[in-house]
Structure 1
Amino acid sequence: MSRTTPARADRRSFLRLAGAVGAAAAFTGTLAACGGPASTRGAGSSTGGKSGSGTIEAGISYALSTGFDPMTSSGATPVAANWHIFEGLVDLDPVTLTARPALATRMPVKVNATTYHATLRDGATFHDGSAVTPDDVVFSFERILDVKNASLMAQFLPFLKSVKAVDTKTVEFKLKYPFALFPSRISVTKIVPKKIVQADQKGFDAKPVGSGPYRLVSATREDKIVFKKYAAYNGRYPAKADDMVWNLVADASARVSAMQSGRVQAIEDVPYIDMAGLAKKSEVESAQSFGNLFLMFNCSKAPYNDKRVRQALHYALDTEKIIKTAMGGGATAASGYLQTTHPDYHRATTVYGYDKAKAQKLLKDAGVRGIKVKLLLTDTSWVQDIAPLIKECWDAVGVTTTLDIGQSSAQYAKVDQNDFEVLVAPGDPSVFGNDVDLLMRWFYVGTWPETRFHWSGTAEAKKVVKLLDQAAQATDETARKKLWAQATDIVAEQAPLYPVLHRKLPTAWDSGALSGFKPVPTTGLSFLDVARA
């Protein structure tokens, strides 16, 4: 379904807009039927959120858009759920995004420039009680590397040559070339039980079995996900609550009401307009994130194959007004590919400050007059809030704009059928990792430039890939950062897909009911090391 929004809307009217929310991070994947068997659903429904019950209840803003298999899962909600269900040899701390040992006893040990060893912790078991073995580790990596499996994670492991078991506790990794980010990058691979996955991959996708502190009881797409403490977990971050219930509440006002009533102890994606009200009784904090709102152009269609047109539509946006009016100040205008708080932030040589005259000149120089654009937007609530202002800005420079707002899956179906001109959507690959190489490869290598914005055949696109490959093999950190800066400067200047702003992610929680909770700078909520107070 799509909807046309009026050209102008004041703050009060467009902040009332609400809608079902699709996949937050604009990720795609095969949607799995995620409901568990009847017996487990019954157990989940009896779990309450009363104080002292040992149950954490949360309000999640995004429905289940993919299954849980970590090889292919990309939806915001299942990825966050997997933080609790699975472990990698190494995992990222969900708050700091720094790498830390998980199933491994310590960070991988460098044997030589292209060889690493990792040792499993003693007594680690999967949720079915079976031991985690080096064979499971090898299987978990090899299934990602197998091109037949079309794993989303494969693009993050181009350096990996082979994985093999050395003994009953140790795994050896051979690299194609030295890759300084190896110890943290392998966090993209979650370790799965070989026997269970081989027996029924589809069943595993719907009802996953991991080695994490919580096991999945049931999951219903637009209702809830129910977790239970895995008592045999012996890692560093055991579950501190007996049960968790994630209520999937797409409607923003319903999430706020659930928080205000005490039905849940935490919610993500707090509407900016409700932050002050919630702060009277709850903790409310906005974490600056990489998560962005981007413009993506169909570079296979005129006039969007001309970078001047793409640049013009960026310069035409009064981003500061958008942030202030539609987001209550809850974002920062993009001055580079990365947010300013990222440790490797680089101010781009091309920064799209609001410049109406420059936008009009670029359109004139490109020979474009009377352009009409059908702008696709996902129906995430805050994106809908922004939509009328984008139209207002573009109409003001002579670009007649029609808004088509729809569910994420429907909009990306149009994109994948090459039936679009421009898309505005949120994106946040930082749920997989925080290094520049990963954040760049998600959008500019593989699927996105090849089959979505159709830019991969250009000289500039090839240059970006070359720079990323050179940076991946650079042993000197300064040299690596210079190469990354060059790559980000190219995508800023070309703008086939480029951020308009980076969000501050607002989270609310009851500090009197939760102990140890902290908001995360990515889409989702983490309850690792969190207890009911």
Structure 2
Amino acid sequence: MPELISAGVERRTFLRYTSAVGAAAALTAGLAACGGPSSTADGATDGSGRGDLIEAGLSYALSTGFDPMITSGATPYAANMHIFEGLVDLDPATLVARPGLATEMPKKINATTYRATLREGATFHDGSPVTADDVVYSFERILDPENASLMAQFVPFIDTVKAVDQATVEFKLKYPFALFPSRVSVARIVPKKIVEPDPKAFDAKPVGSGPYKFVSATREDKIVFEAYDKYNGPHPAKAKKMVWRLMSDPSARVSGMESGRVQAIEDVPYIDVKRLSGSARTESVQSFGLLFLMCNTADERFADKRVRQALHYALDTEKIIKTALVGNATAATGYVPATHPDYHKAATVYTHDVAKAKKLLAEAGVGTLEFTLLLTDTGWVKDIAPLVKESWAAAGIEATLSIAQSAAQYAKVDQGDFEVLVAPGDPSVFGNDADLLMRWFYYGFWPEKRYGWSRSAAYKKVRQTLDKAAQAPDEAGRRKLWGEVTDLVADEAALYPVLHRKLPTAWNDKALPGFRPLPTTGLSFLDVSRA
């Protein structure tokens, strides 16, 4: 599973996902056998001179099914942006919240009550109407602990959801939460009558109300979509069909782009960006997506924050960015990048300072620091691994590299069998406000189950401050408190970003009017035509 989404999953949830993947694989293999559009079978135009088929190259295979309540894979999550709607959705390129199935952003009735009205005439892909009961069901299944929904951690403030009438839904909150209108975007609305009888079948063959219908999928080959003609929302499909080629091999994606087999690819290898720019439009978009360094604070050596700080000061981050990422990243100066609307420059900024790293280790009473560094096998992460080792060696820190698939590395982490981990992560696909981004790594599962920080006074203060910020009535108050959290987690360095990377995308701008590269993993063809 791609780390940016899946790495925040509890064991019970992970086992549920694993079961779902098996069922999805069996079902989607059968669906694929039934046929579907292919690049050779479908015409390039509909006779009017305009193309009817979009083909794209995605970098990840299908690692999970499509049920939006539990999907953790980057590719199915991107697919779901086209298949499903929420009451509120995020603009895929700007991550700004906008009405989806709701006629407008949810209305605040009082401090703990909101209402939303559904778009008239909205239907699911089976032709049935989208009702308030479907909305209630979609939220209640997320909130049910037995369902182990990945989305539940983002809406802990919801107390009850009820249908006022067939088109109106009312939310009661446990406490005031100013970001409620945008946060409900994490919940996609699903048809109760289809999901409830057979959730596994739905996971394999999703039915939503979005502009594109799911046709078929094969785990390591392709996903096929077609336009939903009865869609009456603000972002109708502008192509008749889409085929997403699942190309985990970077060279295959580049070749597909150069040959014209696909009109867009994500995750362009950094070394190929310049070459591709000669025949295609390329752009590297700054993302929240980070490379983080996480220490096992249950290990007595890393219980001392000076040791953790030393690891950061010893890193030659600028060399890593210039050499391994060809300049496509920015060194972390806060928890979020400087381009983020909630950016706060941390009181502690880790510049390359070998002398300071050695001084901190000496103050901590550490003579020789040796440990095994776990890294995931994502291509660009493997590229930076030797540079990390080299940086630390210059400060007298000896790291033995252990590079393996994400699932294997996190299995060790979740068993407490690790010392230090370097890995990518990006929860901004779920939402881009600082509260959500901070809670992902600093509230609940990660600090309590992964890096052993839960007993520290600093963690208790982070929780209290985030909860206080969540209930702050004004934006200035929230930002001030988020700044305090940033300062604290930077100083503690139990888990902290090294850099925020840029995501290179390539596309044929003449063939895809309206296309925009994304600041998250995946591609979006909402409001995109095929010329």
TM-score range, shorter chain: over 0.9
TM-score, with length taken from structure 1: 0.94
Look up the equivalent residue of 2:465 and give its one-letter code.
L
Shift of 1:24: 4.3
Which ranges in structure 2 are unaligned for 5 or more consecutive residues? 46-50
356, 363, 367: which one aligns with 2:354 = 356
Q: Distance in 2 between matches of 1:249 and 1:392?
A: 32
Q: Percent identity?
A: 68
DSSP 3-state at the match of 1:529: coil
Structure-1 residue corresponding to 2:133: 135
Q: Describe the superposition over 1:115-159 as per-residue Cα deviations: whole angstroms up to 9, x where unpaired.
A: 111001111111122111101100111111111212111111121
Residue type of the partner of 1:174?
K
| Contact 1:22–1:407, Cα closer than 8 Å, also in 2 | no
Aligned equivalents of 2:455 and 2:218: distance in 1?
41
Kindly provide the amino acid, as one letter, of the partner of residue 262 in structure 1.
G
The one-letter code matched in structure 1 to 2:392 is: W
My pick for the range that moved more, 59-68 or 86-95, is 59-68
Kindly state the Cα deviation for residue 532 of structure 1 after the two structures are TM-superposed. 0.6
CA distance in 2, matches of 1:405, 1:360: 26
Amino acid at match of 1:229: A
* Higher deviation after alignment, 423-432 or 249-258: 249-258
* Cα separation, 1, equivalents of 2:37 and 2:424: 32
Aligned partner of residue 263 in structure 1, secondary structure: coil
Inter-partner Cα distance in structure 2 for 1:493 and 1:485: 12
Q: Secondary structure at the match of 1:43?
A: coil
| Maintained 8 Å contact 1:283/1:509 | yes
Secondary structure, aligned partner of 1:294:
strand
Q: CA deviation at 1:25?
A: 4.2
Higher mean displacement: 420-429 or 41-50: 41-50
Q: Which amino acid in structure 1 is aligned with residue 69 of structure 2?
A: M
Distance (Å, rounded) in 1 between the aligned partners of 2:415 and 2:124:
40
Q: Is the 8 A contact 2:3 2:424 kept in 1?
A: no
Partner of 1:375: 373
User: Residues of 2 paired with 1:23 and 1:125: CA distance?
Assistant: 34
Query: Does residue 70 in structure 1 map to residue 68 in structure 2?
Result: yes
Q: Which residue is equivalent to 1:262?
A: 260
Higher relative contact order (CA 8 A, sep 6+): 1
Query: SS of 2:290's equivalent?
Result: strand
Q: Does residue 515 of structure 2 align to residue 523 of structure 1?
A: no
The answer for the alignment partner of 1:16 in structure 2 is none
* Shift of residue 246, structure 1, vs aligned partner: 1.3
Measure how far apart 1:221 and its partner are: 2.0
- Whether the aligned pair in 1 keeps the contact of 2:57 and 2:244 (CA below 8 Å) is yes
What is the match of residue 297 of structure 2? 299
| Equivalent-residue separation in structure 2 for 1:23 and 1:357 (angstroms) | 33
Distance 1:375 1:25 in 2: 21
Q: 1:422 to 1:346 in 2, by over 3 A?
A: same
Conserved? CA contact 1:24–1:62, under 8 Å:
no
Among 212, 232, 239, the alignment partner of 2:210 is 212
Question: Partners in 1 of 2:428 and 2:321 — Cα distance?
Answer: 21
Spell out the pairing of 1:193-212 with structure 2 (5 A cutoff): 193-212=191-210
Correspondence for 2:48: none
Return the offset for 1:44. Answer: 2.6
Q: Aligned to 1:208, what secondary structure does the other structure show?
A: coil
User: Match for residue 84 of structure 2?
Assistant: 86
Task: Tell me the equivalent position of 2:232.
Answer: 234
| Equivalent position SS for 1:44 | coil
- Name the structure 2 match of 1:490: 488
8 Å Cα contact 1:26-1:408 kept in structure 2: no
Given the alignment of the two structures, is residue 506 of structure 1 paired with residue 498 of structure 2, yes or no?
A: no
Secondary structure at the aligned position of 1:250 is classed as coil
- Aligned pairs for 1:3-402 within 5 A: 22-27=2-7, 28=9, 29=14, 30-31=17-18, 32-33=21-22, 34-35=24-25, 36=28, 38-44=30-36, 46-48=38-40, 51-52=44-45, 53-402=51-400
- Structure 1 counterpart of 2:469: 471
Could you tell me which residue of structure 2 aligns to residue 7 of structure 1? none
Question: SS state of the match for residue 532, structure 1?
Answer: coil
Q: RMSD of the TM alignment (CA)?
A: 1.5
